[in-house]
A and B are shown apart, each in its own frame.
Chain A
């Protein structure tokens, strides 16, 4: 199973985004600054946008899901119950997972964006997909929810998971690292080796690197372990 970007190029507003590479099974973190073209690449990966040139090849991928940045964009149900049912899931366990028990009959717009994001992620992460694309999965969440979400994403074992984010504090354990540099998607390699070449790395990681400390991965636990490490 793999997803391949074959020299894709897409013009967006006033600049060009280009990318090439193969996404193998595992968790891929695609980092990039705000406005660098992450959402465009996520849409292309999901098959919802066609690149201006190049193509996207899928090998052995059946089910595909894109989690869009804003959770309200996924709404199709007029109650939380019907919204969860639209994901072919049972309401009670999903609501419990989202920390919204007993709110089956509530209007989705009665939730804050953070609550809606929690509900949306609970729906998405309760199912399994061959290709799961998460566009800014940590937006609108508080620190505690970001950490919980990172743990849940990091525990995905099957299929290809692509995380497009500019988040640099709470990240999951990932297998591969990509970075959008000057409008071009670049593969940095497997984690932890790829962390060294990460140009716009999180500041905490940069500080650790300055001290010659290299974490094993990107989760909060890995960063803490590296920060508290007394010797290598």
Chain B
């Protein structure tokens, strides 16, 4: 989906549908299969399996303590899949454009810039994690808490250092808050179809499934 505005709206609608009921989540999952690259969106993100695994663990705990772990798992997993889709489908500058379009050139620019820098930081962190794995492999160090802890500390430290350097750089370039951006959005035919289709899972989530079939009859 090329239009960032439609993508955001669609993801919000589908997330609400998924959160509201299992039926809504299953319908949103079908939408995810039809309109996104599917499993490739997860493969692109090294964090995806971690978060999905974490959600599965929480669900197991809920289930073991007598709660509805299955419902939690289905709903949260679909919300995560939608989040990973939104993350992988974005283009650099999308959030800045979107934020300026929504909130204007002062606060909108600041929010958009912060979002863009955060996403860039996540990419850097992901790249550093990959490099660290290579370093572990080259040094024949076994992965474990004792070996990972210093590396994780180094990565966090480097992120702080990077943030400080970026802040200095912005200040040197004269940034004091707000800025000029002319948001541009491109839209293809499929964007509207995908966005419109996202309403169906919301209907499934709001109305009991049985009522939908009565209406259809």
Segment with Cβ contacts to B, from A20-28, A75-83, A139-147: A75-83
Return the contact of B132 from the options A48, A66, A76, A108 (Cβ within 8 A).
A76
Contact (Cβ within 8 A) B141 A76:
yes
The reply to whether the CB of A44 lies closer than 8 angstroms to some CB of chain B is no
- Residues of B in contact, count (CB < 8 Å): 18
The reply to whether the CB of B154 lies closer than 8 angstroms to some CB of chain A is yes
* Chain B residues, CB < 8 A from A76: 132, 135-136, 139, 141, 147, 150-151, 154
The reply to whether the CB of B212 lies closer than 8 angstroms to some CB of chain A is no
Residues 38-68 of chain A, each 1 if its beta carbon lies under 8 Å from chain B, else 0: 0000000010100000000000000001101
The reply to whether the CB of B70 lies closer than 8 angstroms to some CB of chain A is no
Tell me the dominant secondary structure on chain B's binding face: helix
The reply to whether the CB of A73 lies closer than 8 angstroms to some CB of chain B is yes
Return the contact of B137 from the options A48, A78, A82, A87 (Cβ within 8 A).
A48
The reply to whether the CB of A72 lies closer than 8 angstroms to some CB of chain B is yes
The list of the 3 closest CB pairs from A to B, nearest first, reads: A78-B150, A73-B131, A74-B135
* Chain B residues, CB < 8 A from A107: 157
A65 CA / B137 CA spacing, docked (Å): 10
Contact (A109, B134) CB under 8 Å given A76-B141, A76-B147? no
CB distance from B158 to the nearest CB of A (A): 7
A74 CA / B134 CA spacing, docked (Å): 8
A31 CA / B151 CA spacing, docked (Å): 33
Known contacts A78-B154, A109-B157; 5 additional CB pairs below 8 A are A48-B137, A74-B135, A76-B136, A76-B147, A78-B150
Contact (Cβ within 8 A) B153 A78:
yes
Contact (A68, B154) CB under 8 Å given A76-B147, A109-B161? no
Contact (Cβ within 8 A) A109 B131:
no
The reply to whether the CB of A168 lies closer than 8 angstroms to some CB of chain B is no
Contact (Cβ within 8 A) B154 A87:
no
Interface residues on A, range: 10 to 19
Contact (Cβ within 8 A) B131 A68:
yes
The reply to whether the CB of B138 lies closer than 8 angstroms to some CB of chain A is yes
* Chain B residues, CB < 8 A from A48: 134, 137
* Chain A residues, CB < 8 A from B137: 48
Q: Which residue of B lies closest to A83 (CB)?
A: B150
Q: Which residue of B lies closest to A49 (CB)?
A: B134
A75 CA / B158 CA spacing, docked (Å): 11
Contact (Cβ within 8 A) B138 A65:
yes
Q: Which residue of B lies closest to A63 (CB)?
A: B140
CB distance from A108 to the nearest CB of B (A): 7
Q: Which residue of B lies closest to A77 (CB)?
A: B150
CB distance from A39 to the nearest CB of B (A): 12
Contact (Cβ within 8 A) A108 B138:
no
Contact (Cβ within 8 A) A75 B134:
no
CB distance from A87 to the nearest CB of B (A): 7
* Chain A residues, CB < 8 A from B131: 68, 73
Q: Which residue of B lies closest to A87 (CB)?
A: B139
The reply to whether the CB of A190 lies closer than 8 angstroms to some CB of chain B is no
Residues 9-52 of chain B, each 1 if its beta carbon lies under 8 Å from chain A, else 0: 00000000000000000000000000000000000000000000
* Chain B residues, CB < 8 A from A75: 135, 151, 154
Contact (A66, B138) CB under 8 Å given A76-B132, A109-B158, A109-B161? yes
